[in-house]
Amino acid sequence: MKKTIGIVAATLVVELIVAVIFIWSGLYNVSTLSPDPGPLKWIFSTTSDNSVKHHANGITVPQNVKELSDVKTSRNSQADSSMIAEGFDHYNDMCVTCHAGPGLNKSEAGIGLYPQAPDLARSAKELPPQDLFWVIKNGVKSTGMPGFAKTHSDSKIWAMVAFLEKMKNMTPQDYAAMEKANTSMGNMNMNMKMSHHEH
């Protein structure tokens, strides 16, 4: 018995030394052009998926966002259009670079990311709203996904989630129409500011 424990302990020590030598050697390729081997990929993605589920559990989803996310109630949802427009504004400004959008391409920086930023129309179909909220607020370490908690209030982040719930059913034409409406609003605001300035 004692002998078995001794052998197991010695094996563990040797494995640890080999692992440390490997880490120090620089042999592992951190290049984005060299995909992680399958088992490592599994470790990262499973850790990340389950971490999000665990930490998002218990977040209370605002009623209007809940209605919007459910196919049965989404048509008649009370989520007001100003909330969705606010979410769109943030999305169009900050997320398209990496995630693209209906009818939109990723930027050059987005194309170079590893891991790649997923299509959020699909994520919104697969993940419940509290998971989307948690990821946007906290970000995901060691991926390109930033956390927006330091710069955005919860209500702004819920507006982004509301927009994603809307985006999951949007065509490129719908998106372009929102962009157009947004630009004309922006111009209107600018004109108002400018005319304000003149008086």
Nearer residue to ligand HEC within complex by CB, 74 or 139: 139
- Joined together, the tokens standing for residue 114 give 């590893």
Contact indicator for 129, 161 with CB cutoff of 8 Å: yes
Contact indicator for 178, 88 with CB cutoff of 8 Å: yes
The one segment of 16-24, 28-36, 72-80, 145-153 that binds ligand HEC by CB under 6 A: 145-153
Residue 56 makes contact with ligand HEC by CB under 6 A: no
Measured distance CA(93)–CA(104) in Å, rounded: 13
Instruction: Scan residues 158-197 and list those touching ligand HEC (CB under 6 A).
Output: 160
Compute the least distance from the CB of residue 144 to ligand HEC, in Å: 4
Q: Any idea which residue has 């065509």 for tokens?
A: 171
Task: Choose which of 48, 74, 92, 138 interacts with ligand HEC (CB under 6 A).
Answer: 48
First to last CA, the chain: 92
The one segment of 31-39, 55-63, 76-84, 112-120 that binds ligand HEC by CB under 6 A: 112-120
CA dihedral of residues 31, 37, 38, 42 (deg, nearest 10): -60
Compute the least distance from the CB of residue 194 to ligand HEC, in Å: 29
What's the length of the chain? 199
- Interface positions with ligand HEC (CB under 6 A): 48, 90, 94-95, 97-99, 113, 115, 117-118, 120, 123, 127, 132, 135-136, 140, 143-146, 148, 160
